[in-house]
Chain A
Amino acid sequence: MSAAWAIYRKELRVYIVSPLATVFLATFLFLAGLFFYLGVTMTGEASLRIMMGNLSVALMFLLPMLTMRHFAEEQRAGTLELLMTAPIPLWALLLGKWAATVTLCVALLVGTLLFPGLLAYYGDPDWGVVATSYLGLFLCCNGFVAAGMFASSLTEEPVTAGIVGVLMLLPFWIAGTAAEMVESETARAVLRELSLTSHVDGFSRGVVDSADVVWFILFTFSFMFLTWRSVESRRWR
Chain B
Amino acid sequence: MIEAVQLTKAFGSVRAVDSISFSVGVGQIVGFIGPNGAGKTTTMRMLTGFIPASSGRAVVCGHDVFEQPMAVRRSIGYLPETPPLYGELSIGEYLQFIAEVRGVPRADRLMCIGDVMERVGLSGMESRLLGALSKGYRQRVGLAQAIIHDPKVLILDEPTSGLDPRQMLGIRRFIKNLAEDRTVILSTHILSEVEALADRAIVIDHGTIRADGSIAELLNNVGDGVRFRVELTGAEAVTVATAIGRLDEVKLVEPVASADGVLAFDVRADSDPRTSIAGLATSEGWGVRAMERHAPDLEEAFLDLVGVEA
By a beta-carbon cutoff of 8 Å, the part of chain A in contact with chain B is 2-3, 5-7, 9-10, 13-14, 17-18, 77-89, 235-236
21 A-B residue contacts at CB 8 Å?
A: A2-B103, A3-B101, A5-B100, A13-B89, A17-B89, A77-B84, A78-B81, A78-B83, A78-B84, A79-B84, A81-B78, A82-B80, A82-B145, A84-B49, A85-B48, A85-B50, A85-B76, A85-B78, A87-B70, A87-B73, A235-B50
A87 with B103: CB separation less than 8 A: yes
Minimum C-beta distance from B103 to chain A (A): 6
Q: Who on chain A is nearest to B54 by CB?
A: A236
For window 76-105 of B, CB contacts with A under 8 Å fall at: 76, 78, 80-89, 93, 97-98, 100-103
From A14, A83, A89, B89 is in contact (CB under 8 Å) with A14
Which residue, of B51, B78, B86, B103, has the highest number of chain A Cβ atoms within 10 A?
B86
A10 with B86: CB separation less than 8 A: yes
Which residues of B are found within 8 Å of A81, using beta-carbon distances? 45, 50, 78, 80, 84
B86 with A6: CB separation less than 8 A: no
A85 with B86: CB separation less than 8 A: no
Give the B interface residue count (CB, 8 A). Answer: 29
A78 with B88: CB separation less than 8 A: no
Asked if B74 CB lies within 8 Å of chain A CBs, one says: yes
From A13, A17, A88, A236, B101 is in contact (CB under 8 Å) with A88
Instruction: Give the complex CA separation of A235 and B51 in angstroms.
Output: 5
Minimum C-beta distance from A145 to chain B (A): 20
Residues of A contacting B: mostly:
helix
Minimum C-beta distance from A14 to chain B (A): 5
Minimum C-beta distance from B166 to chain A (A): 26
A86 with B102: CB separation less than 8 A: yes
Asked if B52 CB lies within 8 Å of chain A CBs, one says: yes
From B76, B84, B88, A18 is in contact (CB under 8 Å) with B88
Instruction: Give the complex CA separation of A201 and B97 in angstroms.
Output: 42
From A6, A78, A83, B82 is in contact (CB under 8 Å) with A78
Q: Report if A82-B73 is in contact (Cβ < 8 Å); known contacts: A6-B101, A10-B89.
A: no
A78 with B100: CB separation less than 8 A: no
Minimum C-beta distance from A99 to chain B (A): 15
A79 with B100: CB separation less than 8 A: no
Instruction: Give the complex CA separation of A17 and B93 in angstroms.
Output: 12
From A9, A79, A86, A236, B86 is in contact (CB under 8 Å) with A79
Q: Report if A87-B74 is in contact (Cβ < 8 Å); known contacts: A78-B82, A81-B80.
A: yes
Minimum C-beta distance from B203 to chain A (A): 25
Instruction: Give the complex CA separation of A2 and B85 in angstroms.
Output: 21
Q: Who on chain A is nearest to B71 by CB?
A: A87
Minimum C-beta distance from A74 to chain B (A): 9
B76 with A6: CB separation less than 8 A: no
Which residues of A are found within 8 Å of B98, using beta-carbon distances? 82, 86
Minimum C-beta distance from B82 to chain A (A): 5
Which residues of B are found within 8 Å of A85, using beta-carbon distances? 48-50, 73, 76, 78
Which residue, of B70, B82, B85, B97, has the highest number of chain A Cβ atoms within 10 A?
B97
A6 with B85: CB separation less than 8 A: no
Which residues of B are found within 8 Å of A87, using beta-carbon distances? 70, 73-74, 101-103
